[in-house]
Structures are given as C-alpha cells and as structure tokens.
Structure 1
Amino acid sequence: MAETRSWSLKSRVALAVGAVLLLGGIVVLSVALAYGRQAAREAYDRLLLGAARDIAASITIRDGAAVVDMPASAFQMLALAPEDRIRYRVTGPDGATLTGSDAAPAPPPREGAGPVFYDGDLGDEPGRYVALTRRFAERSFSGPVRVMVGQTLRARQALARDIAGGALAVLAAAGIAIGLFAWLAILSALRPLRRLGRALARRDPTDLTPITLPMPSEIAPVLGALNGFMGRLDRQAMASRNLIGDAAHQLRTPVAAIRAQAQDAQDETDPGRRARLLSRIHARSVGLSRLLDRMLDRAMIIHRTDTAPRAAIDLRDVALEIYEALEDTPGGAAIRLDLPPGPVVVRGDALSLVEAGKNLAANALAHGRAPIRLGVARDGAAARLFARDAGPGPAAAIMDGMGARFAAHAPGGAGLGLAIAREVAQSHGGALSLGPRADGFEAALSLPRLGA
C-alpha cells in the first residue's frame, strides 16, 4: 500500500502563522500608506495655508485699489519643500488677477467662509491649492480679495513614502520576531507529542498497560483514545491467551481418554465390552464437542465486546429469539415465555445477549426443575433477562463458584455457560445475578435500561 504523505504539524502551524503575518502585514502596510498620505497632506496643507495667510495679510488698499506687497515669509514657508514648484494668484472682487499667474485654477464653488483646499494641475504636474478670501469694506474699496497658492506634490509623496517605509521596517522586524517566537512556541507545544512517541518506542511489544504522562488538554483526548485502543488490544490478547491456555488444559485429558478408549476398543475381542467402550468414546466425543463449542462461543463473545456496535434493543425480541432457538432442543418444549406488555429497551449487542440468554436457559433446562420460565422484567432503572426454574437451586457451597470458568458442577457440563453470561452482562454495564425467588431459582442478566 502506498504511503499517504501529509504535511507535518509544524509545517501547518508555520504556514498558518505565516499567512496571518502576511495578511496582517498587507493590512498594516495599507493603513500606513493611507496614514502617510494623510499626514503628509495635512503637514503641507498647513504650509500652503500659512503662506496664503501671509499673502492675504500683506494686502493693503491704496488710492481705492488693492495692492499686494508679497511677503518673503510666505516663500520661506514654501521653501521647506525645495523640490516643489509653486504658483500663486490674487484676484479682486471682479475676478481679475491682481498679481500672480492666471493659470492658477479657481477653487470649486463652496458655501461659507474659510480656506478651501482643492486639487489642480500645476503645469504638467498635479498640484495642491488653497484659496483664502479676505473681505474689505472701506469707503474707497469694498469686496472680497481671493488669494490662491498652489504647490506640486513631490515633497508630499516623499514624506508619505518615508512614513510607509518606516512602518514597513518596523513591521518586518516585528514579523521576524513574531515568527521566531511562534516557531519556538510550536516546538514547545509539540514537545508532549515527542514525549509520547518516545514512551511508545521504549515499550515492550507485550506491554499494553495505559500510558500515564502529563499531557495538555488538547492532546489528552488522543492519549485517552490510545489507552482505550491498547486496552481493547489487551483484552483481545488476553482472550486469545486464555483460549490457547484453556484449550491446552481442558482438551488434553478428554482427547487422551478418547485415544486410550479407542485403542482398547480396537484391541477388544469381546463384542459386549467393545460396545461399552464405543459408547464411552461417543459420550466423551459429545462432551468434547460441547466444550469446544462453549470455548469458541466465549472467544466470540469477548471479541464482540470491543468490536460489535451497540444499538437500542428490545429485550423481548431477544427473549423471543432464545425461545425459538431452544424450542426444538431436548426439553425445550418445557420453556414458557414471560414477557411484559411494553418494550424493555437496553443498548447492546443482540447476538451476545442472545448467546448469554441461551446459556441461562440451557443451564435451567439441564439442572433445574420444570416448569422453566424465560422472560423479561423491569427492575427500577434496570432490565432483567431471566431464566427461572421451580427448583431450590444449588447448594451454598456450589453457589460461591458459579459463574467462574470451567466451574462445572454436574456431569457433562463444560463450566462455561454462566461464565459467558457473566462476561456479556459486564460488557453491557450490568451484572449476572443468581439466587432463589419465591417461585424457584433464577439466573438473570441485569442491564441498564434506556429511558429509565
């Protein structure tokens, strides 16, 4: 199978941090450029306004006419931008130019007094203008005199670039520092994963005990899932070891007995004794077959404990399936169903519950006293799947060992039926209950009931 390659966590986080820094840098640079242009415009607009006010202040009325005595201070202000060209114009009440260049554009119409800033051409370059109006109301002269001063944009653009360049330099330094700290933070954040990897690498292949390492809350679910997975593997491995051990221990004696009896039957010349030996061989073969069936059933139940999906199940359907499966077995006709009118719902694996119920019913048929009742009942927040016979039940000494593996207390028993039922009950969050009732002895699976 081809290996599926994927980006490392460090690469993904670094890419995400880089994308955030790039996007943030673009936003900050755009803001810096806008701020630089605005700051440069405001700074040089003040110079234009100062120059216009100096010119306006120098206007005097002589012999009924407005006279402009251009002040040197106005040009000194504008000289702060030595690479820019300037243009000025002073117009009288009739709009005629009193001094300056007729090419200076007039401001757009505007209501109210005060200076007006506007854009216009200054020769073959774009320019910025301010218009300032001074009103006269004298006997020999009355009306507004407008002063217009313009300047090219070279100094403004240079100042905006300087501001943006400074912001970009600061941003680049901050980005490098943030990237470095982010990379160190990534390495620190991934250190628990490296510890987890080293802990797994140092482990013996047969060690499936839970890993106990301090982990951040984000990685703790991964460790929990890993421990759960190893727990399931451990249960499956334990089941396999038990199956192998049980097979080696439990099958050796009956197989040896069958071999010996078969050898005796082969050598026996007396027909009657040979028939008895063959009958014993058949009985032991049936018992061995029953033991193998129970051992495989138990292995299957343990396997399904961790692999079979759980679903909402009506225990009445489980009981009905058990009844139909045992109806044609020897003594199965003596079983009676005892089901409540409404659903009794639990969450579980139907196949495992059916197998456990079969063992309870088969045990009652084999060792109990008729009548045998197979049924379902509610018991508070629990539900019971039970098999009940009319007998007094086993002795107290036998009760203590019931439910253990290979605890057979009757001839021909495998000793696994109740052990299977106990393991199914425990895997469903319940328990196997054994004890006398008013009308007999009951073995039951007690399970949590849904909707209780």
Structure 2
Amino acid sequence: MAETPAPPVRTLSLKSRVALAVGAVLLLGGVVVLAVALAYGRQAAREAYDRLLVGAASDIAASMSVRDGAVVVDMPVSAFQMLALAPEDRIRYRVIGPDGATLTGSDAAPLPPEREGVGPVFYDGDLGAEPGRYVAVTRRFAERGFSGPVRVLLGQTTRARAALARDIAQGALAVLAAAGVVIGLFAWLATRSALRPLQRLGGALAERDPTDLTPLALPMPSEIAPMLGALNGFMGRLDRQLAASRNLIGDAAHQLRTPVAAIRAQAQLAQDECDPEARARILGRIHERSVGLSRLLDRMLDRALIIHRTDTAPRAALDLRDVALEVFEEVDAAAIAPGARVRLDLPPGPLVVRGDALSLTEAGKNLLANALAHGRAPIRLGVAREGGRARLFVRDAGPGPSEAVLSGLGARFTSGAPGGSGLGLAIAREVAESHGGALLLGRSGDGFEAALALPRAGAA
C-alpha cells in the first residue's frame, strides 16, 4: 500500500509576511517620528513662549526708572498683554535690587543660576504646585543717586507650552497615519503584482503532465530566475536518472535475453548429452557464455553507477596521475591478454582536474581493458598536458578500427571488435562529457589512441 505523502507545511503567506514587515516598519517609524515630533514640539513651544517671556520681562525692565535715589517699577500693560496669549497659565514676577532685596513682586520666585555673560537667562523652577519656566533680565543703572544692576524675574506655568507640543505631535501623527495607510495600500498592491510570476510558475507546474520533465521557459524577474534555474536543473537531473533507469531496464531486457536463452539451450543439450566429450564441449561453451554474460552485466551496472554519480558525486581537485596509477594497479593485464605488458607514462609535475575519482578510474579501466583485449602490444597508459586540457590516454600499436566503425564508437552497444559489449567506450564517453570534456579516438603515430580530454583545474 502506497504511503500518503505528507501535506506541505504551511507558514505565513508572502503577502502576510510583507504586510507584517511593512506594518512593523511603519510602527517603528511612527514611534520614531512621534518621539521626534514631541521633541520638536517641546522645543518649538519652548522657543515661542520663551520669546513671550523675555519680551514681557524686557518691557518691565524698560519701565523702571530712578526717582529720589530709588528704583520705581511701573508695570506696563503690554507685558501682561503678551502673557495673556497663554490664558490658562499663571505668572509670577520679582524685581531684585543691587543688594538682593526684593523691590516688588513675589519673594517665592526662585533665583536664576549664577553664570557670567549678558542677556536673558532662562531656567526652570516651581510656580506654586506646578512646574514653571523663568527668565531673568538685568538692567544696569549708573546715575548720581542710584547705580548697580536690577534684575527682573518673570515666570510662567507650562500648560500652554505642553498643549502646543501636543498639537504639533498630534498633527505629525495624523500625517504619519495617513501616509502609513497610503504606503500600506501601495505595498499591498505592489506585493500582489510582484508575486504574480510565482503564481504563473505554480500554474505551469500544476498543468504539466507528470512525465514531462523538460525545462520550464517562463519570463521571470531576476529575483525568481535563480529559483526557476534550480528547478529546471533539478528536473534535468531527475530526467537523466529516469532515462538511465529506463535504459538500464531496456538494455537488460534486450541484451540479456539472447545469452540467457543460449545458456539455457546449452544446458538442456548438456543434460541430454550422453557422450562425455560432447558434454564437456557443451559445458565449455556454457562457461564461455556465462563469463561473457557476467562481463556484460558488470558493464551495464558500471554504466548505471557512472550515470548516477554524474549528478550526485561531488567534484574535487585531484591529480590525474593518481587516477592513472589507480587504473594501472586495478586492471589485471595478464588476465585479459596473457603476456601483455602495460607501460606507464606520467609527467613529473601534477596535472590537476576537478572531478569524481571513481568515475574517472572506471573510464580509464575501460579504455585500458579495450586496448588489452582488442589492441596490439606495446600498450602505454599515460597522462599528458595539452593547452588548457589534461589527457588520460591509452595507446596501442594496432591500426584501430576502420573509419566507418570509428565514427560510431562511444554509442551504447556499438563495438569495434567481435565479442565486445560496446559499453566500455560508452561509459568513457559519458564520464568525459559529465566532466566537461570529451572522448577522443583516433590514430596517433603508428598506433591507435583513446583518451579522456578534461579541462584542467584553474586553466583559462
């Protein structure tokens, strides 16, 4: 019974994520703007009402005069008219003579902090049970009957200041709220428009036949194009794996049926044969066909493994000389061609490529086995540098196949010699192409050469 696929894990939609992100930005921005608006409102209110205070205090100082050696303060109406612009605030004033005595006003008005310089001095202090803002203005007299500084202290509660600061902040907050609504609306519309390519991609996938693994060709924004490329790459790898599985099944059904049927027929003959010598000959043929079938199975499984590793095995930097040594050590030349010897030809310096060592070794083993089975001694296995490429080659002294046969070598089940499976060169070709290279077959000097031409690591 097939397992029911687990439902996809659902999270917040992209629209919700964008909405939350925009809302968070607007909220944070609102808090910052509100704090800035409050600070600006307080500063603006303070400067506006400080001007009123210093204007009123200056009018009081200007109204003072000296009569009979004493300072007379004639409180001007204009000073109170200025302060009347804040009708809810209370005021307190105090005029202090050169000796520090209060000439008029309330003794409860606090003194300003001592500092040097000229001009009005602003400071904070209590005005009864409420906080207040004070200004101190100094007028200096230098007359015959009176000389010295006279200070005017004028204070006012801060109700009007706070109300003005709130009005400024509320106005800024109202503008921010309206702007936030407009920005949120445009962000929502922009998000819907930006997500339409994803909806098109999902629709294209949903409408596809389950067996259709061809690449999707859809116009996509630059941000989504990498995802489409990765999806096409995944489908390409899956298509190659499925094709390899189909080929393996088809090849097995096509290539194994005849030898298996022949072995069965020979076994039936051996079972019915009474002559010991004839039975021995039949058993010999059964053994030969079994060995051939075993080699064919090995080649088919090797090819399936190589195709699988094409998309799964990581590529690493490796010295092609090590691959040649591995091939030289693993191939039993005496078992394939009794009396044959293989000469190893390696350069003194490393020849680095990026690839899968196992796949390259299998390809090299197939090239060497072909040369031993179908070539002519002497046989050379070596590595060479050729421009920006590295070559793993096997060279023998034979003439090689004809031009007509040579043009078809490298395809599955196309052999250049009787008894060959045609899979060895196919494996080598697929390994070379999966590494960005090629399988080169041709005459070289007085012999025939098969080589894997691969791009060198770091070569231009």
Which residue identity lines up with residue 424 of structure 1 in the other structure? V
Matched-pair contact (CA < 8 Å) for 2:69–2:146: yes
Give the whole-Å Cα distance in 1 for the aligned partners of 2:420 and 2:362. Answer: 17
1:292, CA displacement in angstroms?
Answer: 1.5
- The one-letter code of the counterpart of 2:367 is L
Letter in 2 for 1:329: A
1:183-222, aligned counterparts within 5 Å? 183-222=188-227
Does the 8 Å contact 2:397/2:448 carry over to 1? Answer: yes
d(CA) in 2 for partners of 1:308, 1:329: 31
Correspondences of 1:247-262 after superposition (within 5 Å)? 247-262=252-267
Q: Report 1:14-413 matches (<5 A).
A: 14-327=19-332, 329-331=335-337, 333-413=340-420
Distance in 2 (CA, whole Å) between partners of 1:434 and 1:78 is: 105
Q: Could you tell me how far 1:6 is from its partner in structure 2?
A: 4.3
Aligned length: 452
* In 2, Cα distance between equivalents of 1:252 and 1:323: 34
Deviation at 1:139, TM superposition (A): 2.9
SS at 1:383 equivalent? strand
State the distance in 1 between where 2:7 and 2:200 align. Answer: 28
Query: Shift in Å at residue 4 of structure 1?
Result: 5.3
TM normalised by structure 2 equals 0.93
Q: Deviations over 1:177-199 (max 9, x none)?
A: 22222232222222222221111
- Matched to 1:146, the amino acid is R
Report the Cα distance in structure 2 between the residues aligned to 1:100 and 1:17, rounded to whole angstroms. 58
Aligned AA (1:344): L
Aligned to 2:440: 433
Aligned equivalents of 1:199 and 1:210: distance in 2? 11
Deviation at 1:283, TM superposition (A): 2.4
Aligned partners of 2:228, 2:293: CA distance in 1, in Å? 44
| Range 121-130 or range 55-64, more displaced | 55-64
1:96 is displaced (CA, Å) by 2.5
**Do 2:401 and 2:416's aligned partners in 1 also have CA atoms closer than 8 Å?**
no
Q: What is the distance in 1 between the residues matched to 2:101 and 2:405?
A: 129
- Separation in 1, partners of 2:409, 2:226: 39
Give the Cα–Cα distance (whole angstroms) in 1 for the partners of residues 357 and 61 of structure 2: 101
Q: How high is the sequence identity, in percent, across the aligned residues? A: 81
Answer yes or no: is the 8 Å Cα contact 2:89–2:156 preserved in 1. yes
Tell me which amino acid in the other structure corresponds to 2:85.
L
RMSD, matched Cα:
2.0
Q: Secondary structure at the match of 1:171?
A: helix
Task: State how far apart, in whole Å, the 2-side matches of 1:51 and 1:326 are.
Answer: 110
Shift of 1:451: 4.2
Corresponding position of 2:3: none
Q: Does 1:419 align with 2:447?
A: no
Range with bigger deviation, 255-264 or 97-106: 255-264
Give per-residue Cα distances to partners, 1:61-110, cap 9 Å, x unaligned: 33332222222221121111111111112233333222222222222222
Task: Please list the CA deviations of residues 329-382 of structure 1 after superposition, one character each: whole Å capped at 9, or x if unmatched.
Answer: 232652221112221211111111111111111111111111111111111221
Letter aligned with residue 356 of structure 2: D
For residues 156-189 of structure 1, give each alpha carbon's deviation from its aligned partner in whole angstroms, at most 9, with x where no partner exists: 1111112112222222222222222223222222
Supply the distance in 1 between the matched residues of 2:275 and 2:393 (Cα, whole angstroms).
50
What is the distance in 1 between the residues matched to 2:291 and 2:142?
A: 134
Measure the CA separation in 1 of the matches of 2:416 and 2:161. Answer: 105
Point out the more displaced range, 435-444 or 134-143: 134-143
- Paired with 1:105 and 1:312, the residues of 2 have a C-alpha distance of 84
Q: Secondary structure at the match of 1:186?
A: helix
Could you tell me which amino acid in structure 2 is paired with residue 365 of structure 1? L
C-alpha distance in 2 between matches for 1:97 and 1:318 = 107
Render the CA deviation track for 1:35-62: whole Å, top value 9, x for unaligned: 1111111111111122112222222333
Q: Secondary structure of the residue that 2:416 maps to in structure 1?
A: coil
SS across alignment from 1:329: helix
For the 8 Å contact 2:64–2:74, the answer to whether it is kept is yes
Q: TM-score, normalised by structure 1?
A: 0.94
Give, as a single letter, the amino acid of the residue that structure 2 aligns with 1:297: D
Whole-angstrom CA distance in 2 between matches of 1:397 and 1:84:
111
d(CA) in 2 for partners of 1:91 and 1:337? 114
